[in-house]
Amino acid sequence: MTAAARSDDAPGRPAGAGPASLQRPTPEGAARRRLLLASAGTVGGLGLVATAVPFVETFEPSARARANAAPVEAAWGDLAPGQLRTVAWRGRPVWLMRRTPAMVASLDAPNPDLADPGSRHSEQPPACRNPTRSLQPELFVAVAICTHLGCIPSLKVGDAAFQALMHAHEDGFLCPCHGSRYDLAGRVVRNVPAPLNLEIPPYQLLAGQTVRVG
Ligand code: FES
């Protein structure tokens, strides 16, 4: 085959210069190629960021979630002795109860009916692991959810039928769903469906007989 018949000999190219694909790029071509690569990288990076931002926003807690997780402050100084108030914390009911001196005294007495009198297996702040399960004996703070299947127990004060079922005929809390009973420190009695004492949430005592739960 003659040199004129070779397909890679383009017109105007010096004979024997080789195929176009093997030619060295001119300085202008190399600059254009670098510019194209840089543009493609920038566009790709922007696309990646644009795709990632919605995911990052998805993981941001909503204002409502932040509000639900926030501590709750409530006054308890206006409660009469023996009275109970319910506040909401993290979507759960929490009791604030002002116990009478007699109620506090009853919690100190040994009670063989209790399943976990020392609160060894239940949930409470370390400072509340005492007979009254509280920071201050007079004030009882507890999550108002039965540890069996989550019903809300009721306060039973002066209820003869309830007291007849308690060791020292004392007052306490009764879960209406399956009959679990708790004393006035939220300690569960033996032989009922609930396995644990009521949960005591983290809380602080603030000035002015106010409590911050959470
Ligand atoms: S839910 Fe309270 S006893 Fe079952």
> 147 CB less than 6 Å from ligand 1?
no
- Per-residue pLDDT at 42 exceeds 60: no
Q: pLDDT tens, 6-22?
A: 434 444 343 444 444 44
Mean pLDDT of 54-80: 77
Q: Which of 143, 145, 148 to mutate to test ligand 1, by most ligand atoms within 8 A of the CB atom?
A: 148
Task: From the CA of 193, give the closest atom in ligand 1.
Answer: 3
178 among known catalytic residues:
yes
Comparing CA positions, the residue from 188, 194, 91, 76 lying closest to residue 141 is 76
**99-157 pLDDT, tens per residue?**
999 999 999 999 999 999 999 999 999 999 999 999 999 999 999 999 999 999 999 99
Ligand 1 site, residue 144, Cβ cutoff 6 A = no
Burial of 191 (0-12, 13-18, 19+ CB in 10 A): exposed
Q: Write out the H or E segment, with its range, that includes residue 69.
A: helix 63-69
Cβ proximity of 116 and 157 under 8 Å: no
- Identify which has the larger pLDDT, 63 or 196: 196
* 178 in contact with ligand 1, CB cutoff 6 A: yes
The per-residue pLDDT for 139 is 98
Query: How remote is the CA of residue 81 from the centroid of ligand 1, in Å?
Result: 27
Neighbours of 160 (CB within 10 A): 8
Cα torsion angle, 198, 199, 200, 201, sign? negative
Read off the tokens for 62.
């909503």
Could you tell me whether strands 72-75 and 84-89 are parallel, antiparallel, or unpaired per DSSP bridges? unpaired
C-beta 194 within 6 A of ligand 1: yes
User: Residue 63 pLDDT more than 80?
Assistant: no
C-alpha dihedral sign at 121, 127, 129, 133: negative
Taking the centre of ligand 1 as the mean of its atom positions, its distance from the CA of residue 188, in whole angstroms, is 11
Q: Is 117 in the pocket of ligand 1 (CB under 6 A)?
A: no
**pTM, full prediction:** 0.72
Residue 73 pLDDT greater than 70, yes or no: yes
Q: How far is the CA of 192 from the centre of ligand 1 (A)?
A: 9
